[in-house]
A and B are shown apart, each in its own frame.
Chain A
C-alpha cells in the first residue's frame, strides 16, 4: 500500500481502542467538522477574553485603578478594591455567564469525534456510532475520556507531522507567487 492510498482513504482502516467495546477510526488528522467545532470554541474563548478586558478597562477607568488590578479582580482576586466589583455585579454576572467551560467544550468535541469516527461492538459486529449524542458522551468512563483526549492529541500531531513532511517534499512551491 502506498502513502497515497492512505491519504485517499482507500487503505485498510486503523482504529484506536477507547475501551473494550468502543473504538475510533484513525485518519492521521482531524476531520473538517472537528476543526470547525474547535475553531468555534476558540472564538468563544477569545470573545470571552475580549469582554473581560473591556469590563476590566471600564472598572479601571471609573474607579481610577490600574487595568491589571481590575483584571485580577475579575479573575477572583481579593484585595482592598474588591468592593468595586459589587458596583459591577450585573456586568460581572453577564460576563461569567458566557464563560466557556473546559469540560463542556471537551464533551462537545468528544461527541463530534465519536459521531464521526466511533464504532461500538454489538455482539461480534462493530457498528458505526453516527447517531452519537452528547448524553452518550456523558456516560463514558473517565478512562475512556482520557484515552479519547490522548487520541485527539495524537491525531492533531499526526496532522502537524504530515504537514511538515508535505512542506519538505514540495518546498515552498505551493506558496510561491508568480515570477516578476
Chain B
C-alpha cells in the first residue's frame, strides 16, 4: 500500500470506509487498528466499484439523450448502445450475459456446435 517515496494516507482510507456506513463495531474508529488489510482492500475495491455504478446510474438520462441525438442524426444506421455514453465501462454486458457465457457461445458458434435455430436467435447478439 505504500512505496518508498509515498506513505499511506490512513485518515483518507478510514474516511472512505466510514462513509460506507458499516454498523459492525469493528469499523468504529477505536477498533479500526484491528481491521485486516485484506478486508480494507476488499472494502475499498467495493467502494470504487459501487461509486462507478452510481455515477453510471446517474448518467443514464444523459446517455439516453445521446442515443436520441445519434438516432436523429444517423437514423437506423446508428450502432450505439446506452452504455457507450456512460462514463465508466459497464461490468454487466447489455445483453445481460456474463463475458464467460458469451465466450463459450462464440466458441460453440465457431465450431458449429449449436443447432441452426439457436444460431438464428442469438447470432445477432453475439456478432
Answer yes or no: A80 CB below 8 A from chain B CBs. Answer: no
Answer yes or no: B107 CB below 8 A from chain A CBs. Answer: no
- Tally B residues with Cβ within 8 Å of A: 27
CB-based contact A32/B37 at 8 Å: yes
The interface bits of chain A over 14-52 (1 if a CB of B lies within 8 angstroms of the residue's CB, else 0) are 000000000000011111110110010011001000000
The interface bits of chain B over 38-53 (1 if a CB of A lies within 8 angstroms of the residue's CB, else 0) are 1111100100110000
Docked complex: B74-127 residues within 8 A CB-CB of A: 86-89, 91
Q: A9-B26, A39-B7, A173-B49 are in contact. Are A32 and B42 (CB under 8 A)?
A: no
Interface size, A (range): 20 to 34
Answer yes or no: A64 CB below 8 A from chain B CBs. Answer: no
CB-based contact B35/A7 at 8 Å: no
Cα(A174)–Cα(B4), bound, Å: 23
Answer yes or no: A179 CB below 8 A from chain B CBs. Answer: yes
Question: In the complex, what residues of A have CB within 8 A of residue B87's CB?
Answer: 178-179
CB-based contact B38/A170 at 8 Å: no
CB-based contact A32/B41 at 8 Å: no
Contact of B91 among A29, A116, A173, A179 (CB under 8 A): A173
Question: In the complex, what residues of B have CB within 8 A of residue A46's CB?
Answer: 4
Docked complex: A145-180 residues within 8 A CB-CB of B: 158-159, 162-163, 166, 170, 173-174, 176, 178-179
Docked complex: B20-58 residues within 8 A CB-CB of A: 26, 32-42, 45, 48-49, 55
Cα(A176)–Cα(B90), bound, Å: 11
Answer yes or no: A102 CB below 8 A from chain B CBs. Answer: no
- A88 shortest CB reach to chain B, Å: 27
Residues of A in contact with B (beta carbons under 8 Å apart): 7-9, 27-33, 35-36, 39, 42-43, 46, 116, 158-159, 162-163, 166, 170, 173-174, 176, 178-179
Q: What are 15 A-B contacts defined by CB distance under 8 Å?
A: A8-B39, A9-B39, A27-B38, A31-B35, A35-B37, A36-B10, A39-B8, A116-B33, A158-B38, A159-B37, A162-B41, A170-B49, A173-B91, A178-B87, A179-B86
